């Protein structure tokens, strides 16, 4: 791409990459890494004609959410179709460093710029805890069920 003086890279992060999220802390941290990497590469590679975009789609109607131990209907989030996420990403490519499709997702991603950073962390922890059974939480966190608080 550098030799050609053009190209594009699209990273897929997550809405959880904008916060530390209890219960899925490793996942949110890895997505924060992708977000930071992509934003840095956006600046670094732009002079070489290479567009870099990080997409943080939030809940998307794919096989991944179905395989997770969460009842997402108990959370105040919207599920987007993959085509809508892809269209939003392609419309942002070459124009910005990151894209968060959907208004509610955008509010969740950027709320920590207006309120203390720990509040969204607590909020997402509360919401995920509410969206799981105690058994699933114990299994996911790899701790005995009797140590799980309600």
Residue ranges covered by each domain of the chain? 7-147
Comparison of pLDDT for 149 and 111, the residue scoring more: 111
Give the rounded percent of residues in the chain with a pLDDT score beyond 70.
Answer: 98
- How sure is the predictor about 134, in pLDDT bands with cuts at 50, 70 and 90? confident
Instruction: Provide the b/e sequence for 89-114 (b: ≥16 CB within 10 Å).
Output: beebbeeebbbbbbeebeebbeebee
| CATH number given to 7-147 | 3.40.50.720
- Give the global pTM: 0.80
């Amino acid at each position: 791409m550098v030799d050609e003086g053009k190209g594009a890279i699209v990273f897929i992060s997550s809405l959880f990459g904008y916060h530390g999220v209890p219960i899925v802390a490793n996942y949110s941290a890895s997505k924060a890494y992708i977000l930071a990497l992509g934003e840095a590469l956006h600046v670094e590679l732009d002079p070489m004609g290479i567009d870099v975009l990080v997409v943080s789609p939030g809940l998307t109607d794919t096989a991944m959410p179905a395989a997770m131990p969460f009842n997402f209907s108990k959370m105040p989030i919207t599920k987007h179709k993959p085509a809508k996420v892809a269209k939003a990403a392609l419309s942002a490519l070459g124009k910005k460093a990151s894209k968060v499709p959907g208004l509610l997702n955008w509010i969740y991603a950027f709320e920590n710029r207006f309120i203390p950073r720990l509040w969204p962390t607590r909020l997402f922890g509360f919401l995920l805890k509410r969206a799981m059974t105690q058994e699933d939480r114990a299994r996911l966190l790899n701790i005995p069920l009797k140590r799980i608080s309600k």
